[in-house]
Homo-oligomer: A and B are copies of this chain.
Amino acid sequence: MPRYTPLIRSLPSTVPFVGPETQERMRGRPFAARLGANESVFGPSPAAIDAMRQAAAEAWMYGDPENHDLRQALAAHHGVAPANIVVGEGIDGLLGLLVRLLIDKGDAVVTSDGAYPTFNFHVAGFGGVLHKVPYAGNHEDPDALIACAREVDAKLVYIANPDNPMGSHHSGEVLERMVEAMPDGALLILDEAYVELAPNTAIPRIAVEDPRVIRMRTFSKAYGMAGARIGYAIGAADLIAAFDKVRNHFGVNRIAQAGALAALADTAWLDHVRQQVQSGREELSSIARAHGLTPLPSATNFVTMDCGADGAFAKAVLGELVRQDVFVRMPFVAPHDRCIRVSAGTEQDQALFAAALPKALAAARG
């Protein structure tokens, strides 16, 4: 037997999320609406699709390991230097690298109970000790996160703004105060995966060289390129340079680099997606209300719907939706697991959801 490290021996062969394809194989038939993973059904920018198609024939070449052109464009976009940006294989990949940079066995990390499971997966994967604070209602609780970080001497603190799975958000001012309150030696991960779909007021003004915070962005959500695997982090140049110690230098695929560059330039498409998402959220919220559910306000591309009872009930509703070929997910942790979470879809997707929901509720109640 290979001699695994003690840490590896202690880890389960776990999967943070079961993919919809896995469910389709288990069910023996495809989903009719794919509204569970907060993907952007509106797709990538046509310019990004063109760029990726063109890059497909050039896929014999490794991608630029410096991601130079994209970093230049992102730097201009954010008004920072290219040295403040590292591009990686999605936020998931960047979170893994960041945890590896800071977390040794036993080091303390703080997050919210019910926040992004893949972050927790990475922390466990490097032997970190996770400390979880409860949400304050449907919002992550900056004060509780900070207090816990102080108490446990955390090296890393995670917050998503807007939040997944609740769809809530804090104003940029709240995040700015959170950065100011960070205890010495703790780094704040501000996961802004959904921020392009939030009000502008959700974006904090943080000096890019502020050593207390690193921001994560992605082309997976508003830019509709989840399958291309490309995201980036913005932070102090020293911290960004540290990624070079451990990152897979040739790991970002060439097709994604080309697509992201084109996607970033197509601001009209981003505006279009924002509008589609906003209408989608409104319609999903109406559908929810029409059937007695409470849609939560959302600054993301999904609507979290309070089913008005406990986790078992929401789980039954979700099961019935899936049975009717509508892929949705739900929060894992109480009390959020009273909800289901539905991504904004096409008109057809949302019509399928609207038709399936009352049947699912009836079945769950009966």
Q: Which residues of A are at the interface with B, using a C-beta cutoff of 8 A?
A: 1-8, 11-17, 19, 21-22, 25, 34, 37, 39-44, 48-49, 52-53, 55-66, 68, 89-90, 92-93, 96, 100-104, 107, 118, 125, 155, 185, 187, 211, 220, 224-229, 238-239, 241-242, 244-246, 248-256, 259
A256 CB, nearest partner CB in chain B, Å: 6
Q: What's the Cα separation between A57 and B6 when bound, in Å?
A: 43
The answer on a CB contact under 8 Å between A244 and B13 is yes
Verify B53–A56 contact, CB threshold 8 A.
yes
A248 touches which one: B43, B66, B93, B259 (CB < 8 A)?
B93
Bound Cα distance A14, B222 (Å)? 33
Instruction: Please state if A60 and B253 are interface contacts (CB–CB under 8 Å).
Output: no
Q: Once the chains bind, are A228 and B249 in contact (CB under 8 Å)?
A: no
- Are B59 and A13 within 8 A (Cβ)? no
Least CB distance from A117 to B in Å reads 11
**Does B102 lie within 8 Å of A3, measured CB to CB?**
yes
Task: Tell me if A2 and B246 are in contact (CB < 8 A).
Answer: no
Structural contact, B101 and A242, CB atoms closer than 8 A: no
A-B contact pairs, 6 of them (CB 8 A): A8-B242, A13-B241, A19-B62, A44-B60, A60-B226, A90-B251
Which residues of chain B are within 8 angstroms of A68 by Cβ–Cβ distance? 21-22, 25
Considering the complex, give the chain B residue whose CB is closest to the CB of A42: B60
List chain B residues, Cβ under 8 A from A58: 227
Contact call B155/A211, Cβ cutoff below 8 A: no
Contacts of A241 in B (CB 8 A): 13
Q: How far is the CA of A229 from the CA of B251 in the complex (A)?
A: 7
The 10 A-B pairs with the shortest beta carbon distances in the complex, nearest first, are A227-B254, A52-B56, A21-B64, A13-B244, A60-B224, A229-B253, A59-B227, A11-B245, A19-B65, A53-B53
In-complex Cβ contact of A66 among B19, B48, B220, B256 (8 A): B19
Cα(A316)–Cα(B11), bound, Å:
50
Report chain B residues within 8 Å CB of A229. Answer: 63, 250-253
Q: Closest B residue to A229 by CB, please name it.
A: B253
Closest-by-CB residue of B relative to A154 is: B3
Contact partners of A242 in chain B: CB under 8 A:
2, 4, 8, 13
The smallest C-beta distance from A226 to any residue of chain B, in angstroms, reads 5
Give bound CA distance, A172 to B12, whole Å: 35
